[in-house]
Amino acid sequence: MLDQIKGIVLASGDGKVVVQLSQIGIALSCQVPVAERLAVGQIVVIYTYMHWNSEQGPSLFGFDDLSQRALFITLIACSGIGPKMGLAILEQLGVDNLILAIQQHDLKLLSSVSGIGIKKAEQIAVQLKHKIDQLLAKPDFVIAPGFGHSQQIRAVLNSLNYTQIEISSAIEFANQKSVGAEETFDIALRRALSFLSKNI
């Protein structure tokens, strides 16, 4: 099984990335914010998951880290959630907010994802609650610093009418730049707003 690849980015954008491995170009589907961060010529390590569809054959999906991939695999094990929907959920909510939504049975947040209604949100919350608890108990399942502020930042950016993709990208950026648990909400929010002002 293909677990990860390391190579040079040949092309990226619109939820797709092509990575050159020696003389081979590998195309992967990924979250839009991930694809947009990757620059042509950049050397990257991407964690992969291969999904087999009886009609369309194999599809390869790429992730920034092992925790994203583990959560994606957990998502698509839920009845009625395919790979495209799984990516959309991760893209629009992010790892942290998805975990919080399931733990807190937040159907409003889950149903904010395009294509998911209240009934589907209820199904996801019920089916994944135990599996999420199991994931969080694993020592190699690591959530980015800044986890505690993400839900508050999302609420503020929602009120400012940013799209879910813009919000997830800003939160991911803020988490990556976080100094850890001692960082205040105000600092994290300013970092997210600064990202949005430069990238939109």
pLDDT computed for residue 52 by the predictor: 86
Handedness of CA 152, 153, 157, 158 (dihedral sign): negative
Say if residue 128's pLDDT is above 80: yes
Say if residue 125's pLDDT is above 90: yes
Is 4-63's fold the same as 66-136's? no
Domains in the chain: boundaries:
4-63, 66-136, 147-199
Instruction: Tell the CATH superfamily of the 4-63 domain.
Output: Nucleic acid-binding proteins (2.40.50.140)
Distance CA 105, CA 165 (A): 22
Q: Which fold has domain 66-136?
A: DNA polymerase; domain 1 (1.10.150)
Q: What is the pLDDT of residues 37-50, one digit of tens each?
A: 888 999 999 999 99
Say if residue 80's pLDDT is above 60: yes
Say if residue 142's pLDDT is above 90: no
The larger pLDDT score, comparing residue 22 to residue 148, is at 22
Average pLDDT rounded to a whole number, residues 10-38: 88
pLDDT computed for residue 179 by the predictor: 59
